[in-house]
Amino acid sequence: GQNIDQPTEMTATEGAIVQINCTYQTSGFNGLFWYQQHAGEAPTFLSYNVLDGLEEKGRFSSFLSRSDSYGYLLLQELQMKDSASYLCAVIDSNYQLIWGAGTKLIIKP
Amino acid sequence: GAVVSQHPSWVICKSGTSVKIECRSLDFQATTMFWYRQFPKQSLMLMATSNEGSKATYEQGVEKDKFLINHASLTLSTLTVTSAHPEDSSFYICSAKGVQGDYGYTFGSGTRLTVV
């Protein structure tokens, strides 16, 4: 079966850095997404990686290693508004989006 | 950027009635629309995938006669929850994929359905 693994919950301090890991087992791979979802709201797009390496976008960066079936989302200079769930999703060989269960990030002052 | 407008944002209905949720792609043509359901503190669960002009493909365990999906045009898809019951109360979200073939999936703002 297809599976996306990411931690259920993480806690970090305001101003710090946090890395949310995602490993996947899918039938084929056509890209890895990260979405942010605040409680009661729809997910919003953060990043898309299809090639190996790090992509930096302001305070948020996303990394992919296809050989390791692994990616991570790096959040720097954490702000209280970053408290949300972060969803990892992979596009498989049939171009279906496979979702992880999400990582709830709690930011403490 | 691409925008998907979803309405209503929230709805309360009586048990046994039907509710229609609309998703419109405002500045692009959505060849494929995905409908998700999300229960509190759980991940998105894909209910069905619809392509414009054809019947929707439902995920296992999702009743196609209960959750009617219509994707009659490239800019509009609807989900109708028929004979709603309290267990159908959930957060319903649509997501559209555009014609350009890129990998962008744009989400609607979601609909909070409460069946009383």
- Tell me, what's the pLDDT at B90? 94
3-state class of A66 per DSSP? Answer: coil
pLDDT at A93: 85
Is residue A33 very low, low, confident or very high in pLDDT (cuts 50, 70, 90)? Answer: very high
**CB within 8 Å of B96: residues ≥ 6 apart:** B2, B4, B23, B25, B28, B30, B32, B33, B34, B77, B105, B106, B108
pLDDT one-digit tens code per residue, B57-92: 999 999 999 999 998 888 999 999 999 999 999 999
Residue pair A55/A62 in contact (Cβ under 8 Å)? The answer is yes
Interface of B with A in 20-39 (CB under 8 A): 34
pLDDT greater at residue B42 or residue B5: B5
Size of interface A-B (CB pairs under 8 A): 42
**B94 compared with B52, residue with greater pLDDT:** B94
What does the pLDDT read at residue B99? 57
Residue A20 β-bridge partners: A73
Task: Say if CB A73 and CB A18 are below 8 A apart.
Answer: no
Q: Could you give the C-alpha distances from A97 to A9, A51, B27, B64, B84, in angstroms and in order?
A: 22, 17, 22, 20, 27
Q: What strands, in cross-sheet order, belong to the sheet with A3-5? A: A3-5, A18-25, A70-75, A60-65, A53-57
CB A92 within 8 A of CB A2: yes
Confidence check: pLDDT of B101 > 80:
no
Class of residue B72 by CB neighbours under 10 A (exposed 0-12, middle 13-18, buried 19+): exposed
Q: What is the DSSP letter of B55?
A: P
Range picked from A2-6, A71-75, B43-47 for highest mean pLDDT: A71-75
Contacts of B43 in chain A (CB under 8 A): 87, 99-102
In this prediction, residues A80-95 reach a mean pLDDT of 91
Mean pLDDT value of segment A53-72 = 96
pLDDT in tens, A34-52: 999 998 888 888 988 999 9
Chain A positions in Cβ-Cβ contact with residue B106 (cut-off 8 Å): 45
Give the least confident one: A36-45, A81-90, B100-109: B100-109
For tokens 């209905």, the residue is: B13
Question: Among positive and negative, which fits the CA dihedral A9, A10, A11, A15?
Answer: negative
A14 phi, psi to nearest 5 deg: -55, 135
Mean pLDDT value across chain B: 89
Q: In whole angstroms, what is the distance from residue A95 CA to residue A107 CA?
A: 34
* Residues of chain B positioned with their CB less than 8 A from the CB of A50: 103
Interface with B, mutate which of A3, A37, A86 (most B CBs under 10 A): A37
What count of Cα atoms within 13 Å lies in the side-chain half-sphere of residue B16?
0
For residue B18 the two structure tokens come to: 């039907």
Residues B27-47, mean pLDDT to the nearest whole number: 86
